[in-house]
């Protein structure tokens, strides 16, 4: 739950700082989170 809230806050801050829309940052977050999750599951 805290990770989801933190990720949301980070996306909002990144969007405000760069002007890039939130869905783009969400896709970037997913692109980073999925490989990290896969590495965690494989070990």
Main-chain dihedrals φ then ψ at residue 20, nearest 5 degrees: -80, 135
* Domain spans in the chain, listed from the N-terminal domain onward: 2-42
What's the pLDDT score for residue 4?
84
Q: Measure CA of the first residue to CA of the last residue in the chain; give whole Å.
A: 23
Q: Where are the alpha helices (DSSP H) in 1-43?
A: 2-18, 22-42
Q: What is the per-residue pLDDT across 1-43, written as a single tens digit (0 to 9) for each? A: 788 898 889 889 999 999 999 899 989 989 998 999 999 999 7
Distance, in Å, from the CA atom of 21 to the CA atom of 39, rounded to the nearest integer, reads 28
DSSP label at residue 21: -
């Amino acid at each position: 739950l805290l990770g989801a809230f933190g990720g949301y806050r980070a996306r909002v801050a990144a969007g405000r700082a760069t002007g890039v829309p939130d869905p783009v940052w969400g896709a970037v977050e997913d692109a980073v989170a999925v490989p990290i999750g896969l590495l965690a599951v494989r070990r």
